[in-house]
Amino acid sequence: MLPRKIIIDTDPGQDDAVAILLALASPDDLEVLGITAVAGNVPLELTARNARMVCELAGRTDIAVYAGCDRPLGRDLVTAEHVHGKTGLDGPDLPPPAMPLQKAHAVDFIIDTLRSEPEGTVTLCPLGPLTNIAMAFEKAPDIVPRVAEIVLMGGAYFEVGNITPAAEFNIYVDPQAARIVFKSGAPLVVMPLDVTHKALVTAPRNEAFRALGTPVGVAVAQMTDFFERFDKEKYGSVGAPLHDPCVTAYLIRPDLFTGRHVNVEIETQSDLTMGMTVADWWGVSGRAPNAMFMGDIDATGFFTLLTERLARL
């Protein structure tokens, strides 16, 4: 089978970086048409820089990286340096990128790619706030039915919120954008905190990355070393949650995940619950399902896949 064509839309972020590395390590499964950066964990200038540093770490300077929206559609940007550090990619000591940023805007790249590739062949993989994707859908509604699938990290139901008591970070940063995407009609697969909080880098899993002995293996171990301190303190968990790699792992091994096809609506009005993903897990609303909302992961299988693939870089 031909590799699946994907666009990774991202705000790196250590866990975004690992998601990108997993995709780049899997060329038989995934063809990365481009990486689009969005403001999220840190401002756009840094996410566009970090995305290129990750490509260089993987030895893939051929990947086109585009900068996109520098702020959410209708509100001020909220960032997460308290989780990811000042650069967004604190942990390893990576050199500044030498590869250029593409001239085109990320939103135009997404539109042009969906128009030029055969209908139903391009999958969007958002790993940050949904601003770029929503902008593209608003600017060019004709591309929506051309999308094969959107597989995204965002939201939470049983885990509720990580940035507010009610909301997960990616959705909270740009709830208007999330609303547009969830209402778009494009097929959606959602990796919420309910799943990603089970993808924890325990000490032996971190050691397995380091034991690869490669620049990639060591950098991933250093990233998760840095990234875990926040969640350990907050949740008392055993290690860093690898949120975003659940997206790229799903594209390679969907059998590692289980969930339900349910209705998911985004709260955009209430101050108290702004950005909440109201998932109708129990089917009580009568609203039509619009998303495959994942609930569980085979974490052992996930880390086996990840470590084995990272070893290829």
- Catalytic positions, please? 243
Q: Measured between alpha carbons, how far is 176 from 282 in angstroms, rounded to an integer? A: 25
Report angle CA 36, 41, 43 to the nearest 5 degrees.
70
Neighbours of 120 (CB within 10 A): 12
Quick check: 16 binds Ca ion (CB under 5 A)?
Answer: yes
Binding segment for ligand BDR (CB under 6 A), chosen from 11-19, 101-109, 229-237, 289-297, is 11-19
- Per CB under 6 A, the list member of 149, 174, 244, 267 interacting with ligand BDR is 244
- Residue 13 or 259 having the CB closest to ligand BDR: 13
The position carrying tokens 């990580």 is: 162
Which of Ca ion, ligand BDR, none does residue 131 bind (CB under 5 to 8 Å by kind)?
none
- Residue 62 near residue 31, CB atoms below 8 Å: no
Q: Which of residues 69-108 bind ligand BDR (CB under 6 A)?
A: 80, 83
- Residue 15 or 149 having the CB closest to ligand BDR: 15
Hey, what amino acid is at 49? R
Report angle CA 300, 217, 244 to the nearest 5 degrees.
55
- Residue 10 or 263 having the CB closest to Ca ion: 10
Which of ligand BDR, Ca ion, none does residue 36 bind (CB under 5 to 8 Å by kind)?
none
Element (H, E) at 278: strand 277-279
**Least distance (Å) from Ca ion to the CB of residue 39?**
11
**Nearest residue to 125 (alpha-carbon basis) of 266, 59, 212, 30:** 30
| Site residues (vs ligand BDR, CB under 6 A) | 13, 15-16, 41, 80, 83, 127-128, 153, 162, 168-170, 243-244
